[in-house]
């Protein structure tokens, strides 16, 4: 599904150049559950952002299903993101003025799905995630765990091939974090590819594949 070839990411900070990723080569197959782990500043989130084409590499090639998408125009990148990827962030990133249903409907509006279909799909996803009683509640009316489940439902709205999760349990107590991890594992069993960034060793080892980063370089995998 995804092939990264010698990916670099450098930032210019005044007269300094900071290397976030250094010659990273990686292949992720369809249906995998991959955890990316490493210390703070190791490049984990940068790598996830490049996989999700939220950021551009400064060197190397990115192939998605065999197609080179390294230097596409912004409009085409946005189309690919909306069609292929679902994102789950540590901070939930819900729109505070929108209800749970409206938050889940939003990605479908960008994809041109009709209002009635958006509404039905959002209700179905929120029911699956155990939040049918929260359809019309704002994020401020929900717990952190409930907000993250809404975020997962939103990530699934356009039936993506790949879910990218950046520290999805980072702002949650242990019990609620366990619920989120179980949901990701259930999705993977249904064939959805999962790539998760985490600093938690126990959570990382629940994935089928563990990739370790340090100082922007791959430092092997743990079987």
Q: Is residue 52 part of a domain?
A: no
Mean model confidence pLDDT for the chain: 92
Q: Give me the percent of the chain exceeding a pLDDT of 70.
A: 99
**Banded pLDDT at 222 (limits 50, 70, 90):** low
Q: Is residue 48 part of a domain?
A: no
Angle at Cα 157 formed by Cα 151 and Cα 161, nearest 5°? 100
Host domain of residue 139: 2-43+57-222
pLDDT at 3: 96
Give the tens place of pLDDT for each residue, 115-130: 999 999 999 999 999 9
Encode burial over 133-170: b for 16+ CB neighbours within 10 A, e otherwise.
ebbeebbeebebbbbbbbbbbbbbbbebbbbbbbbbbe
Q: For the chain, how many structural domains are there in total?
A: 1
Q: Is residue 114 part of a domain?
A: yes
**Banded pLDDT at 99 (limits 50, 70, 90):** very high
What is the spatial distance between Cα 130 and Cα 36, in angstroms, rounded to a whole number?
A: 28
If phi > 0 it is left, if psi is from -120 to 50 it is alpha, else beta; for residue 186 that is alpha
Q: Is residue 194 part of a domain?
A: yes
CATH of the domain at 24: 3.40.50.300
pLDDT at 90: 87
Taking residue 6's Cβ as centre, other Cβ atoms within 10 Å add up to: 13
Inter-CA distances, 82 with 54, 112, 146, 170, Å = 11, 11, 23, 25
Q: Is residue 77 part of a domain?
A: yes
Q: Is residue 50 part of a domain?
A: no
Choice between 220 and 163, residue whose per-residue pLDDT is larger: 163
Q: Is residue 168 part of a domain?
A: yes
What is the spatial distance between Cα 36 and Cα 11, in angstroms, rounded to a whole number?
A: 21
Give the tens place of pLDDT for each residue, 148-181: 999 999 999 999 999 999 999 988 888 889 999 9
Strands 217-222 and 209-214: antiparallel
- DSSP letter at 140 equals G
- The residue with tokens 């594949």 is 209
What is the spatial distance between Cα 89 and Cα 151, in angstroms, rounded to a whole number?
A: 8
**Banded pLDDT at 19 (limits 50, 70, 90):** very high
Q: Is residue 51 part of a domain?
A: no
pLDDT at 181: 93
């Amino acid at each position: 599904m995804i092939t990264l070839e010698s990916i670099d990411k450098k930032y210019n900070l005044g007269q300094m150049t900071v290397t976030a990723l250094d010659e990273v080569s990686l292949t992720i197959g369809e249906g995998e559950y991959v955890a990316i782990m490493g210390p703070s500043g190791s490049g984990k989130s940068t790598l996830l952002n490049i996989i999700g084409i939220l950021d551009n590499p400064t060197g190397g090639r990115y192939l998605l299903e065999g197609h080179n998408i390294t230097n596409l125009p912004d409009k085409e990148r946005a189309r690919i993101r909306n069609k292929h990827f679902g994102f789950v962030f540590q901070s939930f990133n819900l729109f505070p003025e929108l209800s749970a249903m409206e938050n889940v409907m939003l990605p479908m509006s960008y994809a041109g799905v009709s209002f009635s279909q958006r509404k039905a799909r959002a209700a179905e996803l929120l029911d699956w995630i155990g939040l049918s009683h929260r359809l019309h509640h704002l994020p401020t009316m929900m717990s952190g765990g409930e907000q993250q489940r809404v975020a997962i439902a939103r990530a699934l709205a356009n039936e993506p091939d790949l879910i990218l999760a950046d520290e999805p349990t980072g702002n949650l107590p242990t019990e609620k974090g366990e619920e989120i991890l179980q949901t990701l594992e259930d999705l993977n069993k249904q064939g959805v590819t999962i790539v998760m960034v985490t600093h938690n060793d126990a959570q990382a080892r629940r994935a089928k594949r563990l990739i370790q980063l340090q100082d922007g370089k791959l430092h092997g995998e743990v079987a």
